[in-house]
Amino acid sequence: MVKPSEQSSHDSERTLALRLRVWRQLRGGEGHFEEYSLAAVPVSASFLEMMDMLNEQLIREGKDTVAFDHDCREGICGMCSMTINGMPHGPIPGVTTCQLHMRNFRDGETITVEPWRARAFPVLKDLAVNRSAFDKVIQAGGFITVRTGSATEANNTLIPKPIADEAMDAAECIGCGACVASCKNGSAMLFVGAKINHLNILPQGQPERERRTLAMVKTMDDAGFGNCTNYGECQAHCPKGITLDVIAKLNRDYLRARVKEFFSSTGKARKGGE
Amino acid sequence: MKLDSKIPAGPLADKWNNHKAKLRLVNPANRRKYHIIVVGSGLAGSAAAASFAEMGYEVSCFCYQDSPRRAHSIAAQGGINAAKNYQNDGDSVRRLFLDTIKGGDYRAREANVYRLAQVSTSIIDQCVAQGVPFAREYGGLLANRSFGGAQVSRTFYARGQTGQQLLLGAYSALSRQIGAGTVKMYTRHEMLDLVLVEGQAKGIVTRDLVTGEIKAWASDVVVLCTGGYGNVFYLSTNAQGCNVTATFRAHRRGAGFANPCYTQIHPTCIPVHGEDQSKLTLMSESLRNDGRVWVPKNSADCTKPASEIPEEARDYFLERKYPSYGNLAPRDIASRAAKEVCDEGRGVGQLVDGKRLGVYLDFSAAIKRLGESAIRERYGNLFDMYENITGENAYRQPMRIFPAVHYTMGGLWVDYNLQSNIPGLFVGGEANFSDHGANRLGASALMQGLADGYFVLPYTVTDYLAGVGLSGRPSLDRPEFKAVVKEVEDRTNWFLNNKGTRSARSYHKELGKIVWEKCGMARDKAGLEGAIRDLQALRDDFWKNIKVVGAGNQLAPELERAGRVADFLDFGIMMCLDALKREESCGGHFRTEYQDAGEAKRNDDTYAHAAVWKFMGEGKLPERHTEPLTYEEVQFTTRSYK
């Protein structure tokens, strides 16, 4: 007897006919939806391979292709960014758009494809947006200062396994921006919280802990991201399973940093220019 | 073509230290007056750009992605080697060196490989200090595993995402410098040509992928860390954007391209499922630590579910053929063995083009021995990924895998200083040819990228800058820059205006099929000669019938693709030519005419050299030059993993 899970390997022959409502927009222009029909999409294809098929069809018709961001197509680079039927990265939890496969859609279905919608992520063209605000947040403090060549022997720093695992859980963030796109406030707290958690719990991250937290939060606020009001959509749509507790810890660390900043102020002018 | 490897004199173990002591320095107050261009922001590029900026140089870094954090180094899963000997299992710099030379089938440069092994330990220190969350033991010390053909546990890892964590470490160092204003980062910029002034590399021409602006940049030195050329095969484990354009354009300007036929086919990828597939997904080789590779003994069993094939009807072919290494046999050997059993008609999985190209990777024994939770702890994310793509649960039934193009050992020729034969053009990471010979061992690519970026280029580029002095940076008004900008503009406009009929992707697919069939896991003279003819015809057709939609002043993915495919077509011809002229088998290059019962048969008398190709003009075949590989410490032996 063939087990149900073993049958799916032979599903490649099955295909779908789809209607697509795709957001089209030129840089600096107004956007609109356009509708396309696409036939014979194999269910084994990924969502982006389906978009490739649409683009090849558009080329045959002499029309401009749909621009979208994508690169590794294995769920790790964080470049792909589509809101599919209203959900960033589509309906399946824990996967990026490039890892979403067409077997999750029905024959005859109408699929709506939009870019990330967020004030801090302006549209460049069609489905591609500018996420450089994330880079700016990291540039403000998402690092441990260590010059090349100045590191000590690696095993001099003992890190308990649970701490290393917790740091790794947070460090899995791929910086795709689905958290921002899913949040009605356009908040980046899950992204910032993940990086703060990764670096602030490690012993190497302690010297810059307060400085990092304050600088990253300030840059986040300046970039036009909204506030967190605990809707939790970010956690629901994060393809890497980053959880809301990183936001709680970000708030705790931010408060801690502000308090320390307040009490460390002695009234004396600081030396060293900062 | 002058190919001086500049290998320092003296005993192998002292070469790098002696050499470093002789390299010239630049006064700290003068460093900000030098401008360094780094192209690419993967492990080598980010690490180099950050290190240069920390030293005080003015740095500009370019990448085609929307952020430096997306470079394809991020996708490396398994780990990074270092000769720390934390596991007390007899590892040492010398052993890592010997393993790498042997793994590369005696076609790598001894001195470079020894240096790589030497600096490997500093890489781990550097990454840990940056906060890279490597796996740890309960005592708080770093954990290691054995990986891809190594008999010691020297691989450091961060779950199945080691490349991601190392890249994010390098990205954080780079970001610190961008924030400090010492690195100017240009994302969504693609390098489309190299500019030479009086025979030296002094700048690049880029296209801003968002606005379409084509612009020249002048510098004192150019460092290319632009990755490999695996996407010449269309289907590979590379990211969609990975391309050969930067290195191939440098080649067209006079840089020698070494050993393009050395490509690595990785044994553990998810098999091809259909015509519209755009990429192949790697499953980390670490899976081979606990998975057993098999196919049915009898081809009649190939269509049955794995659970219905009894133990005695299974052929664990790696364990059978290579008893001492078993499922951990090196990549080229494991890949070829899988191809052989599939060619015998014993492959499993879907029929694609009338063949079943897949073998089982079975975890049932490991799950029985260690429990499902232990396997989940080790490989959970990989099993999830497999299920996303195939819809199958690998805890319940074996995975199906097949080899796929993964890494390219060839690249721009560089000397010991990682400088190409064009003065002022340095090349790091996968983009150069220097360290892996004809085959790369698992967990060595991350090591090489970071070694080049953190610990080699900062010294050797400084030496070059000290040599050229402060008058080295030319003005953008020079005719050399204007001429190259015009060439790039003309080519771009030609693509946009050509009234063609075929998409760039369709050409790329056809190119990929030709080179995969004729210059893939097994090659022969007739096939390669035919492939060169086919590729020349395809190239001619491309330049008549390519159709590019879109506008030049917007994001134009089809324009980007057409430019990359154009270079891949020329490159593919050179790759097949290199494979044709190397009349031996070594590492990833397997010529069916040269074998001992299925094992690669090297010809050390005639081919112990790097083949370096010189560009001879548009539409002409390149010219072959050689750099002899002399081994002072290592004896040639036949690579045996039996």
Q: How many CA atoms lie within 13 A of A242 on its CB side?
A: 32
pTM for the predicted model, two decimal places: 0.96
Is B491 catalytic? The answer is no
| B353 Rama sector, left if φ>0, alpha if ψ -120 to 50, beta otherwise | left
Contact check, Cβ <8 Å, A175/B68: no
Predicted local distance difference test score (pLDDT) of residue B329 = 86
Q: Where are the domains of chain B?
A: 33-262+409-615, 266-404
**pLDDT above 90 as % of chain B:** 89
CA distances from B58 to A241, B471, B490, B499, B505 (A): 39, 15, 31, 44, 38
Assign B439 a pLDDT band (cuts: 50, 70, 90).
Answer: very high
Q: Is 3.50.50.60 the CATH number for B33-262+409-615?
A: yes
Predicted local distance difference test score (pLDDT) of residue A11 = 46
- Smallest Cβ distance to A151: which of B126, B211, B397? B126
**A3, A143, A165, A201: best mutation site toward chain B, by most B Cβ within 10 Å?**
A143
Closest CA of chain B from A33, distance in Å: 18
Contact check, Cβ <8 Å, A5/B158: no
Distance of alpha carbon B259 from alpha carbon B601, whole angstroms: 18
Q: Does A154 touch chain B (CB under 8 A)?
A: yes
Contact check, Cβ <8 Å, B549/A42: no
Contact check, Cβ <8 Å, B549/A59: yes
Q: Where are the domains of chain A?
A: 12-125, 131-264
Contact check, Cβ <8 Å, A202/B131: yes
Which is the catalytic residue, given B70, B95, B249, B331? Answer: B331
* Cβ-based contacts of B276 with chain A (< 8 Å): 42, 45, 49, 52-53
CATH classification code of A12-125: 3.10.20.30
**pLDDT tens for residues B450-482?**
999 999 999 999 999 999 999 879 999 999 999
Closest CA of chain A from B179, distance in Å: 5
- Smallest Cβ distance to A5: which of B171, B178, B393? B393
- Smallest Cβ distance to B276: which of A8, A45, A144? A45
Q: How many CA atoms lie within 13 A of A24 on its CB side?
A: 12
Q: Which of A74-88, B347-361, B506-520 shows the lowest mean pLDDT across its residues?
A: B347-361
Distance of alpha carbon A80 from alpha carbon A91, whole angstroms: 15
Closest CA of chain A from B360, distance in Å: 13
Q: Which of B102-106, B122-126, B503-507 shows the lowest mean pLDDT across its residues?
A: B102-106
Mean pLDDT score across all residues of chain B: 95
Q: Which residue of A has its CA nearest to B138?
A: A161
Q: Which of A81-85, B375-379, B455-459, B510-514 shows the lowest mean pLDDT across its residues?
A: B375-379
CATH classification code of B266-404: 3.90.700.10
**B242, B278, B397, B508: best mutation site toward chain A, by most A Cβ within 10 Å?**
B278
* Cβ-based contacts of A65 with chain B (< 8 Å): 549-550, 557-558
Taking each helix axis as running N to C, give the angle between helix B504-518 and helix A47-60, from 0 to 180 degrees, rounded to the nearest 10: 120
**pLDDT tens for residues B294-316?**
999 999 999 999 999 999 999 99
Burial (CB count <10 Å: 0-12, 13-18, 19+), residue B252: middle
Contact check, Cβ <8 Å, B135/A164: yes
Q: Which of B151, B155, B125, B132 is nearest to B143 (CA)?
A: B155
**pLDDT tens for residues B12-49?**
999 999 999 999 999 999 999 999 999 999 999 999 99
Contact check, Cβ <8 Å, A79/B397: no
Q: Which residue of A has its CA nearest to B237?
A: A72
Neighbouring-strand partners of residue B401:
B359
Q: Does A274 touch chain B (CB under 8 A)?
A: no
- Smallest Cβ distance to B273: which of A3, A12, A174? A12
Closest CA of chain B from A118, distance in Å: 17
Q: Which residue of B has its CA nearest to A3?
A: B305
DSSP letter string, B138-151: TTSSBP-B--TT-S
Contact check, Cβ <8 Å, B65/A70: no
Closest CA of chain A from B376, distance in Å: 15
What's the average model confidence in pLDDT over B375-404? 91
Distance of alpha carbon A200 from alpha carbon A209, whole angstroms: 6
Per-residue pLDDT at B234 exceeds 50: yes
**pLDDT tens for residues B570-610?**
999 999 999 999 999 999 999 999 998 878 899 999 999 99
CATH classification code of A131-264: 1.10.1060.10
Distance of alpha carbon B503 from alpha carbon B106, whole angstroms: 41
pLDDT of chain A, 274 residues: tens digit per residue: 333 344 444 445 799 999 999 999 999 899 999 999 999 999 999 999 999 999 999 999 999 999 999 999 999 999 999 999 999 999 999 999 999 999 999 999 999 999 999 999 999 999 999 999 999 999 999 999 999 999 999 999 999 999 999 999 999 999 999 999 999 999 999 999 999 999 999 999 999 999 999 999 999 999 999 999 999 999 999 999 999 999 999 999 999 999 998 888 766 665 554 4
CB B587 within 8 A of CB B439: yes
Q: Is B315 helix (H, G, I), strand (E, B) or coil?
A: strand
* Cβ-based contacts of B65 with chain A (< 8 Å): 71, 77, 79
**A9, A52, A191, A208: best mutation site toward chain B, by most B Cβ within 10 Å?**
A9
Q: Does A159 touch chain B (CB under 8 A)?
A: yes
Contact check, Cβ <8 Å, B158/A142: no
Neighbouring-strand partners of residue A22:
A34, A113
Q: Which of B79, B405, B441, B402 is nearest to B269 (CA)?
A: B402
Residue type at B637? Answer: T
